[in-house]
Amino acid sequence: MPFLIIVLIIVVLAIAVSCVKIVPQAQAFVVERLGAYQGTWSVGFHVKVPLIDKVARRVNLKEQVADFPPQPVITKDNVTMRIDTVVFYQITDPKLFTYGVENPMMAIENLTATTLRNIIGDLELDQTLTSRETINTKMRAQLDIATDPWGIKVNRVELKNIIPPAEIQNAMEKQMKAERERREAVTRAEGEKKARILEAEGEKESAILRAEAEKQSAILRAEAQKEKMIREAEGEAEAILKVQQAHADGLRMLKDASADEAVLKLKSLEAFEKVADGKANTILLPAELSGIASVGAVLKTVTGHKE
Q: Are residues 7 and 46 in the same domain?
A: yes
Count Cβ atoms below 10 Å from residue 83 Cβ, excluding itself.
21
Q: Are residues 29 and 54 in the same domain?
A: yes
Q: What is the pLDDT at residue 114? A: 92
Count Cβ atoms below 10 Å from residue 29 Cβ, excluding itself.
21
Spans of the chain, pLDDT less than 50 = 280, 289, 292-307
Q: What is the pLDDT at residue 307? A: 40
Q: What is the pLDDT at residue 171? A: 75
Q: What is the pLDDT at residue 267? A: 59
Q: Are residues 55 and 68 in the same domain?
A: no
Q: Are residues 70 and 143 in the same domain?
A: yes
Last residue of some domain: 146, 164, 182? 164
Q: How many domains does the chain have?
A: 3
Last residue of some domain: 45, 60, 75? 60
- Domain boundaries, position 13: 2-60
In a domain, 307, yes or no: yes
Q: What is the pLDDT at residue 299? A: 42
CB neighbour class for 70 (10 Å; exposed up to 12, middle 13-18, buried from 19) = middle
Q: What is the pLDDT at residue 93? A: 93
Q: What is the CATH number of the domain that holds 112?
A: 3.30.479.30
If phi > 0 it is left, if psi is from -120 to 50 it is alpha, else beta; for residue 93 that is beta
Q: What is the pLDDT at residue 184? A: 86
Q: What is the pLDDT at residue 306? A: 42
For residues 295-305, one letter each, b for 16 or more C-beta atoms within 10 angstroms of the residue's C-beta and e for the rest, the string is eeebbeebbee
- CB 67, CB 160: distance < 8 Å: yes
**Distance, CA of 67 to CA of 160 (rounded, Å):** 9
In a domain, 227, yes or no: no
In a domain, 248, yes or no: no
- 3-class state of residue 236 by DSSP: helix
Q: What is the pLDDT at residue 281? A: 52
Count Cβ atoms below 10 Å from residue 45 Cβ, excluding itself.
9
Alpha helices in 41-165 (DSSP H): 94-99, 104-120, 125-130, 132-147
- 3-class state of residue 265 by DSSP: helix
**What's the CA dihedral at 10, 11, 12, 15 to 10 degrees?**
120
Q: What is the pLDDT at residue 305? A: 43
Q: Are residues 48 and 71 in the same domain?
A: no
What is the C-alpha radius of gyration for the chain, rounded to an integer number of angstroms? 63
Last residue of some domain: 164, 195, 221? 164
Q: Are residues 42 and 84 in the same domain?
A: no
In a domain, 301, yes or no: yes
- Show Cβ contacts of residue 88 under 8 Å, excluding neighbours closer than 6 positions: 63, 64, 65, 154, 155, 156, 157, 158
Q: Measuring CA to CA, which residue among 22, 55, 60 is closest to residue 38?
A: 55
Q: Are residues 88 and 23 in the same domain?
A: no
In a domain, 181, yes or no: no
Q: Are residues 6 and 90 in the same domain?
A: no
Q: Are residues 19 and 101 in the same domain?
A: no
Q: Are residues 15 and 40 in the same domain?
A: yes
Q: Are residues 56 and 143 in the same domain?
A: no
In a domain, 47, yes or no: yes
In a domain, 255, yes or no: no
Q: Are residues 22 and 98 in the same domain?
A: no
Q: What is the pLDDT at residue 166? A: 80
In a domain, 243, yes or no: no
